[in-house]
Amino acid sequence: MRLTLAVLALTFARAAAPDAAPDDAAVYAQGELLYHAAGCVGCHSVPGLPHLGGGRDNPTVFGTFYAPNISPDLEQGLGSWTEGDFFTAMRDGRAPDGHLYWPTFPTMAYTKMSDADIHALWVYLSAQPAVKSEERAHEPRRIYSLPGMLNLWRLMEFRPGPMTPDPTQTAQWSRGEYLVQAVTYCDQCHTPRSKIGRMRRGRTMAGGANLGKFEVHPNLTPHPEAGIGAWSEDDMVRFLTTGEKPDGSVAREDWVMHEKVRDSYSRLSEDDKRAIYTYLRSLPADDFDPEARYGDAAP
């Protein structure tokens, strides 16, 4: 129902204000930017494999999940999908046949994207060449493939629907919140989680770890020692552009942040990088030390 309304709203907006409709090239460019900034590229366009052919294996504590082909190929990809199917996938984490997707496809973030951004992604994806690729079945750990497990996870962690900006905040802050939570999903990595994987909401961005392929995700709150309180706005812009930290070191090449900066975040506009800083700066300073908490799990 929500979907139909969203599609109707889009159609209506176009019909009502044809002059205001962004031109096709601009929408395509926006989709291309989002494909990178939102990290789709890292899972669905693996170096050495066909563009949009998928193939990234994602080892997690829940099992290993392979990114599928999302090119316009009729058999393997999205060739037979409507834009409505794509909205259902992104907004509701659900396939056209109704089955739920594994959360490795980060729909808990993408569900918060605006209609215009999901539409732009669809325009970009539909315009790419169809490719064939090797298909691999997911390997969930047995307990997580029990019936109802994904429904349980959704009850805990999935809040469907686009984000509504907080009216008491500035447009720049809201842009930062949107980028962090809906597009780049910094919060999914940089927030501590409970044993069963729930994000600790009161401790947003206080740091976390990826226990599938061990990596520590630093505390990004404004805490002067535990977090990045000492970073200036320009420090953040430089880091998100080059991976270089204020102390001159660079994000580790064998950990995911390096790739994220190179392939995703460096493409954001400078204004967007500054908006991310503004949002992070407004969070409560948290003294959580993810290295002390998770460091022992290092192999």
**Interface residues toward ligand HEC, by CB under 6 A:** 38-40, 42-44, 58, 65, 67-68, 70, 78, 89, 95, 101-102, 104-106, 110, 121, 180, 184-186, 188-190, 215, 217-218, 220, 228, 239, 245, 251-252, 255-257, 260, 265, 276
Q: Identify which of 153, 292, 271, 155 has the alpha carbon closest to the alpha carbon of residue 216.
A: 292
Q: Which is nearer to ligand HEC, 13 or 211 (CB)?
A: 211
12 or 232, CB closer to ligand HEC?
A: 232
- Report the b/e string of 121-146 with b at 16+ CB within 10 A: bbbbbbebebbebeeeeeebeeeeee
Retrieve residue 223's tokens.
């805490």
| Tokens found for residue 111 | 């569900």
Give the residue from 90, 102, 93, 96 showing the smallest Cα distance to 139. Answer: 102
User: Which CB, 239 or 288, lies closer to ligand HEC?
Assistant: 239
Q: How far is the CB of 92 from ligand HEC (least distance, A)?
A: 12
Whichever of 30 and 58 has its CB closer to ligand HEC, that residue is 58
Closest distance between ligand HEC and the C-beta of residue 18, in Å? Answer: 27
Residues 6+ apart with CB under 8 A from 36: 263, 264, 267
Give the separation between CA 79 and CA 210, rounded to whole angstroms. Answer: 34
Tell the smallest beta-carbon distance from residue 249 to ligand HEC (Å): 8
Q: Which is nearer to ligand HEC, 169 or 235 (CB)?
A: 235
Which residue do the tokens 């429904």 mark?
Answer: 151
Q: Is 137 or 165 the residue whose CB approaches ligand HEC more closely?
A: 137
Measured from the CB of residue 11, what is the shortest distance to ligand HEC in angstroms? 22
Q: How many CB atoms lie within 10 A of CB 167?
A: 6
118's tokens? 């999901």
Complex with ligand HEC: residue 12 or 61, whichever CB lies closer: 61
Residue 151 Cβ vs ligand HEC, minimum distance, rounded to whole Å = 14
Question: Residues with Cβ < 8 Å from 137, sequence gap 6 or more?
Answer: 66
Report d(CA 163, CA 166) in Å as an integer: 9
Give the sign of the dihedral formed by CA 59, CA 64, CA 65, CA 66: positive
Report, in Å, the least distance between residue 23 CB and ligand HEC.
Answer: 22
State the nearest-atom distance from the C-beta of 9 to ligand HEC, in Å. 21
